[in-house]
Amino acid sequence: MITFEQVSVQYSDAAAPALSGVDLTVPEGELCLVVGPSGSGKSTLLGTVSGLVPHFTGGVLHGRVTVGGRDTREHRPRELADLVGTVGQDPLAHFVTDTVEDELAYGMESLGLAPDVMRRRVEETLDLLGLADLRDRALTSLSGGQQQRVAIGSVLTAHPRVLVLDEPTSALDPGAAEEVLAVLQRLVHDLGTTVLMAEHRLERVVQYADQVLLLTPGEPPVLGEPAAVMAHSPVHPPVVGLGRLAGWRPLPLSVRDARRKAAALRTRLDGLQPGAVPSTTGAPVAEAERLVVRRGPVPALRGVDLALHPGEITALMGRNGAGKSTLLGTLVGLHAPASGSVRVGGRTPHRTRPAELIRRVGLVPQDPRDLLYGESVVAECAAADTDAGAAPGTCRALVERLLPGVPDAAHPRDLSEGQRLTLALAVVLTARPPVVLLDEPTRGLDYAAKARLVEILRTLAAEGHTVLLATHDVELAAELAHRTVIMADGEIVADGPTPEVVVSSPAFAPQVAKVLAPGPWLTVHQVERALAEVEPS
For 334, half-sphere exposure in the C-beta direction (CA atoms, 13 angstrom radius) is 15
Give the residue from 86, 471, 159, 110 showing the smallest Cα distance to 317.
471
Q: What is the pLDDT of residue 405?
A: 82
Phi first, then psi, for residue 448 (nearest 5°) are: -65, -45
Confidence check: pLDDT of 434 > 80:
yes
Reduced to 3 states (helix: H, G, I; strand: E, B; else coil), residue 423 is: helix
From the number of C-beta atoms within 10 Å of its C-beta (0-12, 13-18, 19+), residue 373 rates as exposed
* Sequence-distant (≥ 6) Cβ neighbours of residue 491 within 8 angstroms: 301, 302, 303, 304, 323
Radius of gyration of the chain (CA): 23
Phi first, then psi, for residue 425 (nearest 5°) are: -65, -45
**Choice among 81-90, 191-200, 244-253 with the minimum mean pLDDT:** 81-90
As a whole number, mean pLDDT of residues 138-154 equals 84
Confidence check: pLDDT of 437 > 90:
yes
Q: What is the pLDDT of residue 187?
A: 85
Confidence check: pLDDT of 287 > 90:
yes
Confidence check: pLDDT of 279 > 80:
no
From the number of C-beta atoms within 10 Å of its C-beta (0-12, 13-18, 19+), residue 91 rates as buried
As a whole number, mean pLDDT of residues 198-203 equals 91
Residue 26 sits at the vertex; the CA angle it makes with 23 and 32, to the nearest 5 degrees, is 115
- 456: confidence class by pLDDT, cuts 50, 70, 90: confident
Give the residue from 152, 271, 205 showing the smallest Cα distance to 519.
271
Give exposure, 206-240, as e/b (b: 16+ Cβ within 10 Å): bbbbbbbbbbbeeeebbbeebbebbbebebbbbbb
Task: Name all contacts of 486-490 with Cβ < 8 Å and 24+ positions apart.
Answer: 486/317, 486/318, 487/316, 487/317, 487/318, 487/322, 487/323, 487/324, 487/327, 488/318, 488/319, 488/322, 489/302, 489/322, 489/323, 490/299, 490/300, 490/301, 490/302, 490/304, 490/322, 490/323, 490/326
- What domains sit in the chain, N to C, each tagged with a CATH number? 2-246 (3.40.50.300), 282-360+433-499 (3.40.50.300), 373-430 (no CATH)
Confidence check: pLDDT of 269 > 90:
yes
Q: What is the pLDDT of residue 379?
A: 94
Percent of the chain with pLDDT over 90: 56
The mean pLDDT value of the chain amounts to: 89
Q: What is the pLDDT of residue 117?
A: 93
Confidence check: pLDDT of 417 > 80:
no
As a whole number, mean pLDDT of residues 437-454 equals 85
DSSP assignment of 258-304 equals: HHHH-HHHHHHHTT--PPPPPP--S--SEEEEEEEEEETTEEEEEEE
Q: What is the pLDDT of residue 536?
A: 66
As a whole number, mean pLDDT of residues 180-187 equals 84
Q: What is the pLDDT of residue 237?
A: 94
pTM: 0.85
Q: What is the pLDDT of residue 347?
A: 92
What are the pLDDT digits (tens) for 40-57? 889 899 999 999 898 888
Give the residue from 44, 56, 46 showing the smallest Cα distance to 9.
44
Reduced to 3 states (helix: H, G, I; strand: E, B; else coil), residue 163 is: strand
What are the pLDDT digits (tens) for 72-104? 999 998 888 889 999 877 787 789 999 999 999
Helices 447-462 & 394-402 angle (0-180, nearest 10): 130
Q: Are strands 70-71 and 286-295 parallel, antiparallel or unpaired?
A: unpaired
Give exposure, 139-175, as e/b (b: 16+ Cβ within 10 Å): beebbbbbbbbbbbbbbbbbbbbbbbbbbbbbbbbbe
Confidence check: pLDDT of 281 > 80:
no
